[in-house]
Amino acid sequence: MYIVGIDPGRVYTNDEAVNKGKCPVAGTLGTTANGNVYKMVEVTTAQNLTEGLVVTISSSHKATVAATVQPGTAIRELGIVRATATASASSFIWAQVYGRGTVAVSSASALPNVVLVMGITPGMVDDGTPTSASAFIDGLTLTATSDVAGALTAAIINWPMFSGQ
């Protein structure tokens, strides 16, 4: 399903999503007037997701914060959390998968237009060369230099995923 005119920052509780039908089902794609595309996902396990974190998206549309090291053979769909409040287990949120946006960066000097890997903090990216033990991120490019560790940095998001070397 694909819908137009969504509220990408909204965090829906499990009750709102499942019992009251206040949000679309997980896996639904939506777009905003500026052309950005988002996927509705369910937050898994006991984690707290905040704006700009990178999450892996399972085939059943469940979002889990991306680990700091990914196997070089990892090929998984990624999304960037869009939430104006902290999203916890069983919440439903929009994860951005396409367009211009921001992403959380773990260092104070990540550069634009270079390969991105997962940073030292789960869910945050950094620039650098992937080691033989980790995969790089395809489809996510910074468009500005980060200036503060943990800050949101401008990026182009183009259906990101982990990709082997």
**3: amino acid identity, one letter:** I
Residue 57 vs residues 27, 65, 70, 155: alpha-carbon distances, Å: 10, 9, 14, 19
Q: So what's the pLDDT on residue 95?
A: 97
Four-residue CA torsion sign, 3, 153, 92, 139: positive
Element (H, E) at 117: strand 116-118
The whole-model pTM stands at 0.91
**144: amino acid identity, one letter:** A
In this predicted structure, which of 25-34, 71-80, 91-100, 134-143 has the lowest mean pLDDT?
71-80
Residue 49 predicted with pLDDT over 90:
yes
Mean pLDDT of all residues belonging to the chain: 89
Angle among Cα 47, 120, 56 to the nearest 5 degrees reads 45
Q: Which residue is associated with the tokens 């959380």?
A: 104
Residue 2 predicted with pLDDT over 70:
no
User: What are 138-163's pLDDT values in tens digits?
Assistant: 999 999 999 898 899 999 999 999 88
List of residues 6+ apart from 49 with CB closer than 8 A = 43, 55, 63, 65, 81, 83, 86, 87, 88, 91, 93, 123
For range 26-37, the mean pLDDT: 93
Query: pLDDT over 90 for what percent of the chain?
Result: 58
